[in-house]
Amino acid sequence: MGHGKLRKFAENETFRCLVQPATEEVVAGKEGGLLLKDHPLKGHWNEQVFDAPRPIVLELGCGRGEYTIDLSRRRPDCNYIGVDIKGARLWKGAKYATEQGLGNVAFLRTRIEFIASFFAPGEVSEIWLTFSDPQLKSENNRLTCPRFLERYRRFLAPGGTVHLKTDSRFLHEYTKAVCAANNLHILRCSEDLYGTPRSGDPALYEVQTYYEKMFLQMGLKITYLSFTLDHEGPYAAPDFDAAYWRALEGPRRTFDHQPARNKVQ
């Protein structure tokens, strides 16, 4: 491991806004499936982490945290938590929030599979999924699959919103199919967010991740979908032609500022 990462990991330990639980704090066992237990912060984020109680918004897979921080500045009436497993990425956002004294920003280093261990029923008002890995061949790992929606429902407030912003038409169409299969209320849907007239909250367009800016410069379309988890009972898997949309997606692009070879745009 390079000295740069070691320095960041050491500095991460000093940031009050960064929560880094050990696995054993949330995993009770693995026999017969993953058994989770509640983290001490569950139900207490507003009183123990933030400078004032406000509605809580999560960004799952936040990377460096730029989206989380930008949202927090534009909407100071909410508290924001960026979640990611990569400590070296979270360092940048946590350091910035600390230096700027942002009392409505926090970061959580954990696997998203463990997310229900950290939040009580109704504790979260919104979830943002920004440029998540579409998991082209692994449905159960997609962050909008029924397994993950069930986790989110455990802590999302009634009427709470899930936002999906992605460059992957595959993930966008899959998520639409999940909504249709479970009669979820779609609030807004766009196959080309920046290619259609702007409407609604300006932050939807003006707040952009690092990769979003890069994809726009490459001329790729950004899609957007927002919906509520207004469904009782188990979530059903969708009738989705994965092979068709996978072929249309083409090879996934690399993240070196160049599209992957033969990428379908």
Contact 62, 80 (CB under 8 A): no
Phi, psi of 34 (to 5 degrees): -70, 125
| 262 within a domain of the structure (yes/no) | no
User: Any idea what the CATH number is for the domain that residue 106 is in?
Assistant: 3.40.50.150
| 133 counts as catalytic | yes
Domain count, the chain: 1
| 254 within a domain of the structure (yes/no) | no
| 260 within a domain of the structure (yes/no) | no
Per annotation, catalytic residue among 51, 133, 167, 192? 133
Percent of the chain predicted with pLDDT > 70: 92
Position 1 scores a pLDDT of 60
Contact 19, 109 (CB under 8 A): yes
| 259 within a domain of the structure (yes/no) | no
Longest dimension (CA), the chain: 52
Rounded CA separation 232/184 (Å): 10
Q: What domain range includes position 245? A: 3-249
Over 90: is that where the pLDDT of 30 sits?
A: no
| 264 within a domain of the structure (yes/no) | no
Over 60: is that where the pLDDT of 259 sits?
A: no
Over 90: is that where the pLDDT of 112 sits?
A: yes
Sequence-ordered alpha helix ranges (H) in the chain: 3-12, 45-48, 66-74, 87-100, 146-153, 169-181, 203-206, 210-217, 242-249
